[in-house]
Amino acid sequence: MLCGLALGFATQLFAASPCQRPLMVGWDTWPPYHFKNEKGQMQGLAVEVLVELARRADCPLQFVQMPWKRTLSELSAGKVDLAMEVLKTPERERLIRFSWAYRPSSVHFFARKNEGRWSFNTLADLSKLGRVALGVSRGDSFGAVLDQWLIAPPPNVSLDIAPTMEINLRKLQHGRVDLVLGDLFAT
């Protein structure tokens, strides 16, 4: 599934000139898009895009690390001005303004290596594979089709919602979930 990822802007940001103060950027670790390198400096594709945009607009940035769900909440409340890599959903569009998408996102199901049982091409095919424990991260969106499917998955699919992708991947590694849903590069 391909979808565009964009920058999310607090609605209040457009009420006044955004460069009268540093723009607060909420973020959570999500390599290769945004993370701190070994020197403690912000790095990643989304960081590079945002830093260049801010440089061209002569707007200083202040990065504030927080859990993803809190980033979205603070963005909606106007306590942070920007968030990187926000998937546009109807619910989020009611609270957040979005930039144009600057890169495609590719969402995939991940399984342990050599688990041929999980070979499928469609969500309908997944429904035919027997019991499935699916790991998803709390607060993540995977696009309209998958988000809708996750609201009422087929009876054979049980959702295991974890606070972070890292925890989902550990569960997958230890066989506590069969599949994990996530972004191709970040996962």
pLDDT one-digit tens code per residue, 155-171: 999 999 998 888 999 99
**Torsion sign (Cα): 168, 173, 177, 182:** positive
Task: Bin 130: left if φ > 0, else alpha if -120 < ψ < 50, else beta.
Answer: left
What sign results for the dihedral spanned by CA atoms 158, 160, 161, 166? negative
Does residue 115 carry a pLDDT above 70? yes
Percent of the chain with pLDDT over 90: 36
CATH topology identical between 2-101 and 106-183: yes
Distance CA 129, CA 179 (A): 12
Burial classification of residue 26, based on how many CB atoms lie within 10 Å of its CB (0-12 exposed, 13-18 middle, 19 or more buried):
buried
Chain CA centroid to CA 152, Å: 21
pLDDT at 12 over 60: no
CATH no. for 106-183: 3.40.190.10
3-state secondary structure of 39: coil
Percent of the chain residues past pLDDT 70, beyond the cut: 90
pLDDT band at 126 (very low <50, low <70, confident <90, very high): confident
Task: Enumerate the domain spans of the chain.
Answer: 2-101, 106-183
Q: Mean pLDDT score of the chain, rounded to an integer?
A: 84
Stated pTM of the model: 0.66
> Is pLDDT at 186 greater than 50 in this prediction?
yes
Q: Which fold has domain 2-101?
A: D-Maltodextrin-Binding Protein; domain 2 (3.40.190)
Mean pLDDT of 82-105: 81
Q: Is the pLDDT of residue 132 over 90?
A: yes
pLDDT for 14: 46
